[in-house]
Chain A
Amino acid sequence: MNILIVEDEQSLLESLVAYLEPAGYSCTTASDFKTAFRKLDLYDYYCILVDLNLPDGDGLKLINHLKEDGSKAGIIIISARQSIDERIAGLEAGADDYLVKPFHLSELNARIQSVIRRLRFQGNKQVVFGDLVIEPEAHKVFANGEPVDLTRSEIELLLYLVSNQNKVVTRDSIGEHLWGDYLRETGSFDQVYTHIKNLRKKLLQAGCMDYIKTVYGVGYKFALE
């Protein structure tokens, strides 16, 4: 799956590529408006990540251009601006998601997959991993063909881990993904641990392999072996 990353901050751009390429994306980059514009005209992408504050133009105009062309690419805005107005403006311009910097790379990854799923497969795509089949829109999970009874929250957690398979996912990012930013301070990492524990138990009970590996002091990794 090819994605275009439009970001003028070089270090951040490198980080994004370093994280996303091993995850299976083919990444094209652009550090300014002109380059991004050119690339958009030349190729089609599954998903485009756009930073709004480009040195030579407004990222929103890129989005407008894409929409005018009738592009079916998913658009995720990555921006340091967090005001509600900006968020609304971005989504109204046609973006599919809006992520405020700084964000967890794992969170970005999960959102990219979610957007692509929605757009390319009308949400009917099944997510397959090892013994597991997840139907995100239907909120159903099957292990070896048998349904697994998971709470919404647990399915969300599973989807998050699967989206970031073979990557170390921090407890912080799991907490933030499941419960949002403001609740971060309310809970401790105990909650994340509890959720993981419950998920693991249910999966094992359903006859699934234990894909959840604990990375001590940091978080978890969802991997085949």
Chain B
Amino acid sequence: MKLLNKTTLYLVVLTVIVFLLASLAFFQVLRNTTNQELDKALEKERKQVISNPDFFLVAAAADVPFFDRLKVQEDSSGQKIEGEYYDSTLFDNIEKHYQPVRCIRFTLDYSGSIFLFRIFKSKLPSDQLVRRIVLSSVILALVFLVGIFLVRQLVFVRLWKDFFVAVERVKQFEIGKGSIEFGASNIKEFQTLNTVLSSMTRRISNDYLNLKEFTSNTTHELQTPLAVIKSKVELMLQSDNLTEEQVNMIHSIYSNADHLSRLNHSLGLLARIENDQFTGTETIDFSSCITKNIDALFMWASEQDISVTTTIPGNINIRLDPVLSDILVQNLLKNAIIHNVKGGKLYISLSEGNLKIINTGNEPGEDPAGYFGRLRKGKNSRGLGLGLSIVKAICDKYQFGIDYSYHSPDHCIELKFSTSGQRA
């Protein structure tokens, strides 16, 4: 729920509860107060009656209908009542309806008989008063509620404006696309927020750019010493008087330097893909890209007696950087051949938005999805372990779907791509 709506909701609920409770309490207090007042008056009148019973007996018999009513009757029940207060109703002959009344009743011993006196006082005015007061309180509550909504629109919106602006700006932050200025605010907490967000985005941007630069410099820097090593080794191999043992050792240095260099090269490529350094998105004829690369691999396939079957219709396009297109296809095909078995099969099927590569191979030692992690290799792989990571990096960049599954004895990689514009 939105901030302002939640705030308003809390205020509304609070207001309603407070007013409800207050009204009830108020109502109770008012009623008690008015009753107390009435009771005091009734007591006074009781005293008057007791001090002058003749008069009041006559008055009661007359039953004159004015403000306070008095009723008397002979009471033979024998009970003695000092003074009891209670609420009741009395029929008004003039207004022709029942009136709420407060009563006192008491017994009086007079000239040999016991009389039960009841004095009635109208509660109407005080009841009306109470009703009016409660109504006012309800109206006040409503006014309060309206006020809350007004406050929400006029005050809260203004109060939180800087905050909402900051939220919008943060949403716009994209790493690598510069830092964001968050402006000033005259509310202390929002000012703090803005300052912190500003410096944070600036730091993140700088760190990212530094890292990008560092990665590309590192791979670059490593190549020169490696070049020196390989060149010296190649020179050493020219010597005529090397023992077999020396030759083997030197060659081992050579292969490992070579492995290092290729690893470095591939890691550099991965870094560059992930850092968005390939921006030349074009519509590529995927069919011919794949066909061209399959032809190049034909020699290896036949050397390992791998039969290659393809279903590649023409004119199927894909949108990505042309360099990455070749790298993607090469790594997929390379993977399918390296992990194949002698006399195995390789099947490549291309359709609109979908590329399937199925190859025979040994059972994977782990969940095939893990192969996309860096430097993961099958048991006897001669590869670097980066081929599929590079494939995954390219797929992530263009939001292609990639899936690796194993259904004995086939490994299957499925690539789902779009021919329309992808966010690159």
Contact = CB atoms under 8 A, between A and B. Distances in A.
Interface of A: 9, 11-12, 15-16, 18-19, 80-84, 100-106, 167-168, 170, 172-173, 179, 181-188, 190-191, 194, 215-219
A187 B302 CA distance: 11
Interface string B124-139: 0000000000000000
Contact of A102 (B221, B230, B338): B230
Contacts of A103: 227, 230
Nearest to A15: B231
Given A11-B228, A170-B254, A181 B262 contact: yes
A101 B223 contact: yes
Contacts of A84: 323
Contacts of B168: none
Contacts of A217: 244, 247-248, 251
Contacts of A194: 303
Interface string B302-322: 010000000000000000000
Contacts of A182: 330-331, 334
A215 B231 CA distance: 18
Contact of B337 (A11, A19, A170, A186): A186
Contacts of B230: 102-104
B277 A83 contact: yes
Contact of A12 (B231, B244, B382): B231
Contacts of A218: 237, 247, 250-251
A19 B334 contact: no
Nearest to A173: B234
Interface string B220-246: 110110111111101101100000100
A83 to B, nearest CB: 7
Given A102-B261, A185-B338, A83 B272 contact: yes
Contacts of B383: 185
Given A104-B234, A187-B300, A190-B303, A172 B258 contact: yes
B271 to A, nearest CB: 11
Contacts of B41: none
B9 to A, nearest CB: 57
B244 A102 contact: no
B268 interface: yes
Given A83-B272, A84-B323, A170-B237, A19 B231 contact: yes
Contacts of A215: 237, 247
Contacts of A12: 224, 227-228, 231
18 contacts: A11-B232, A15-B228, A15-B235, A19-B234, A19-B235, A80-B224, A82-B265, A101-B227, A105-B234, A172-B255, A182-B334, A183-B300, A183-B334, A185-B382, A186-B297, A186-B300, A216-B244, A217-B247
Contacts of B250: 218
B328 to A, nearest CB: 12
A199 B224 CA distance: 35
Given A80-B220, A217-B247, A18 B235 contact: yes
Contacts of B232: 11, 15
Given A80-B224, A83-B277, A102-B261, A170 B234 contact: yes
B296 interface: yes
A105 B224 contact: no
Interface string B93-131: 000000000000000000000000000000000000000
B257 interface: yes
B384 interface: yes
Given A172-B258, A219-B237, 17 more contacts: A12-B228, A12-B231, A15-B234, A18-B235, A80-B223, A102-B231, A103-B227, A172-B255, A181-B262, A181-B265, A182-B331, A182-B334, A185-B334, A185-B382, A191-B299, A216-B244, A217-B244
A219 B254 CA distance: 12
